Copies of this chain bind each other. A is one copy, B any other.
Amino acid sequence: MTNTADGQTMIPDEEKRLERQLCFAVYSAAHAFNRAYKPILDRVGLTYPQYLVMLVLWEKGCLSVKTIGEKLDLDSGTLSPLLKRLEQAGLISRARDPKDERQVIISLTENGTGMKCQVSAIMDAIGQATGCDTTEMANLRDRLQQLKVNLTTV
């Protein structure tokens, strides 16, 4: 690190460039994942964010909109219409929690539950496509999670 005349810390151009590259690498890898998943998810009529919602539901059975949002880091402006589409597709149902009428409980329908194995089977290909072994995947995942934590606690 060098210093400017006024004593401010200055980041060299090369590092700024690198930081941008890292940022773009993440952005770009996310698109690549999306494209890899798309043809597979198309077969069952799901988008990738819809698939994420189904994943958390397959694990827990039923959840409030808020909880889904916390798990996926998405707000109601994104989830409300998405969940409406999943409902229309007959995969989930929505109902106000009688204990607390503010909350909407999302639960899997029979079709939604049944889709789990179907998707699980065709998803196997993607894991292979990453070209990573288990250790590599875990390592990369952990670093990205740490990166996210760093970025959100600015």
Q: Please list the residues of chain A having a beta carbon within 8 angstroms of any beta carbon in chain B.
A: 10-11, 15-16, 18-33, 35-37, 48, 52, 55, 73, 120, 123-132, 134, 136-138, 140-141, 143-148, 150-152, 154
CB-nearest residue of chain B relative to A51? B20
Contact A127:B26 (CB < 8 A) given known A36-B154, A132-B147? no
How many monomers of this protein are in the complex?
2
CB-defined contacts of A151 to chain B, threshold 8 Å:
29, 32-33, 35-36, 129-130
Could you write out 13 A-B pairs with CB less than 8 Å apart?
A19-B123, A22-B130, A23-B126, A25-B141, A26-B26, A26-B29, A28-B73, A29-B30, A30-B30, A36-B152, A129-B150, A129-B154, A131-B147
CB-defined contacts of A26 to chain B, threshold 8 Å:
26, 29-30, 33, 144
Partner of A24 from B32, B35, B52, B120 at Cβ < 8 Å = B52
